[in-house]
């Protein structure tokens, strides 16, 4: 006889509704797969009288979240409320009462992880959050399980579908940023208020989660330096393609030999032959580099109701199965954060400057770069009347030296504007 596992859900928006319906519709399939009778028992919402999908009976709903997190007839809690509070305190209650928790809440996991991890481990139950990072792309499970013993060196990912859609539209169809953003909003790839995506904040939360697992270090969204994509224009793509690059919004985490880590989100030129350069539209991918495994990449749909439900279901089955077996899988994070100073990170750069078309201008700009140890890989010059644009590609240099060079360049009388400074992967 199969064991009954009763599921309580916190929140029932678009994703919550899809998840709830899928659980109810999949009960027989999940029972055959797991030997468990997984049942959706209760759903906590703010407004019980709001019109709901007819597949979700009214008697499932409550406005009291304690009916989910503290009730004796709920075995597993799935959290889709979003935000740090009250979700954080509710999950601590659930874990403290020995209930496994499944969450898609990247903001919560990225900001209150140590307390949540500790409470789950002390209670001997699962805290699972595949859907909080890159939805259906199984990168959290890959890091927690398959690569748990691997000395990992680097994560480089495209982990926000909105920015990747916008940059893909600019690259493939020559759209300017504003037009690409408007199209993404019209098609539902971007929210009307898409600041969290555009500014890199959304990717920062996801990167903190992934890097914590990769390096076994307690990292939060506040540890990530984030730069948005607003400044990139269509001409940058033309120049990038001319030299064999695409432009992507990357999330990069690196482990350094002295035991520190660096976490950054930024737009970057990516060589066309790199697999990440071929990730189009709203798709996501994460490239993982380890000392033993070399480089591998996971790829797929990083957002959307169905993709998120896929990740939630996988975690729910694991949580229910572990609960039935009386075991759990602890989160492999044990070290305090140790961050590498930003100015010690090194990379190559693409620089674009508007300058006066006068003898000695190129020499003056090159002298500034050389004085700060920035080595020029090659330079391109385009003239128009009395002004010209200089485009430089540099060899790798530290951010400290590049920042100092940029500060001096804008003071040169020959330099009218430092238009762009993007990193090169």
Distance CA 295, CA 152 (A): 10
Check if 241 is active-site.
no
**Contacts of 124 by beta carbon, 8 Å cutoff, 6+ apart:** 98, 327, 328
Distance CA 134, CA 203 (A): 10
Distance CA 202, CA 134 (A): 11
Distance CA 167, CA 301 (A): 16
Contact 249, 164 (CB under 8 A): yes
Q: How many helices (H) and strands (E) does the chain have?
A: 14, 17
DSSP string, 287-334: EEEETTTEEEEEEEE-SSHHHHHHHHHHHHHHHHHHHHHT--------
Place of tokens 């597949």: 55
Residue 43 belongs to what H/E stretch? strand 36-44
Contact 212, 218 (CB under 8 A): yes
- Whether the upstream peptide bond of residue 24 has omega within 30° of 0, thus cis, is no
Place of tokens 């748990």: 148
Out of 99, 106, 206, 248, pick the active-site residue.
206
Distance CA 262, CA 376 (A): 25
Among 204, 203, 104, 211, CA closest to 147:
211
Contact 218, 209 (CB under 8 A): no
- For the record, the structure tokens of 232 come out as 């990139």
Q: At what angle do helices 87-96 and 106-123 cross, to 10 degrees?
A: 20
Hey, is 144 helix, strand or coil? helix
Place of tokens 């759209």: 175
Distance CA 289, CA 141 (A): 16
Catalytic residues, by residue number, are 206
């Amino acid at each position: 006889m199969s064991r009954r596992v009763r599921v309580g859900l916190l929140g029932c928006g678009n994703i919550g509704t899809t998840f709830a319906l899928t659980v109810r519709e999949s009960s027989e399939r999940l029972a055959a797969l797991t030997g468990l009778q997984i049942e959706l028992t209760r759903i906590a919402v703010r407004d019980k009288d709001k019109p709901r999908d007819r597949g979700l009976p009214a008697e499932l709903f409550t406005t009291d979240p304690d009916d989910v997190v503290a009730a004796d007839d709920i075995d597993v809690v799935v959290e889709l409320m979003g935000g740090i509070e009250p979700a954080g305190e509710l999950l601590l209650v659930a874990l403290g009462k020995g209930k496994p928790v499944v969450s898609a809440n990247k903001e919560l996991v990225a900001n209150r992880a140590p307390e949540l991890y500790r409470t789950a481990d002390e209670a001997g139950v699962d805290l699972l959050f595949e859907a909080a990072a890159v939805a259906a792309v199984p990168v959290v499970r890959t890091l927690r399980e398959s690569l748990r013993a691997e000395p990992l060196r680097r994560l480089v990912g495209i982990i926000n579908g909105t920015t990747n859609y916008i940059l893909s539209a600019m690259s493939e169809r020559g759209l300017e940023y504003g037009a690409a953003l408007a199209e993404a909003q019209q098609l539902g790839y971007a929210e009307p208020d898409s600041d969290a995506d555009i500014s890199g904040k959304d990717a920062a939360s996801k990167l903190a989660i992934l890097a914590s697992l990769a390096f076994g270090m307690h990292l939060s969204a506040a540890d990530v330096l984030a730069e948005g994509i607003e400044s990139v224009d269509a001409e940058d793509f033309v120049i990038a393609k001319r030299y064999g690059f695409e432009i992507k919004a990357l999330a990069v985490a690196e482990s350094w030999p002295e035991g520190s880590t660096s976490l950054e989100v930024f737009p970057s030129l990516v060589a066309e032959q790199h697999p990440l350069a071929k990730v189009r539209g709203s798709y996501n991918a994460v490239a993982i580099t380890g000392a033993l495994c070399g480089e591998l990449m996971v790829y797929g749909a990083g957002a959307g109701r169905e993709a998120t439900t896929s990740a939630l279901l996988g975690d729910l089955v694991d949580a229910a199965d572990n609960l039935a077996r009386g075991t759990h899988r602890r989160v492999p994070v044990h070290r305090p954060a140790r961050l590498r100073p930003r100015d010690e990170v090194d990379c190559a750069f693409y620089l674009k400057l508007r300058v006066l078309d006068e003898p000695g201008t190129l020499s003056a700009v090159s002298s500034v770069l050389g004085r700060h140890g920035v080595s020029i890989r090659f330079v391109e010059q385009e003239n128009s009347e009395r002004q010209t644009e200089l485009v430089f590609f540099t060899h790798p240099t530290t951010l400290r030296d590049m920042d100092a060079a940029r500060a001096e360049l804008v003071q040169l009388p020959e330099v009218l504007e430092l238009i762009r400074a993007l990193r090169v992967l």
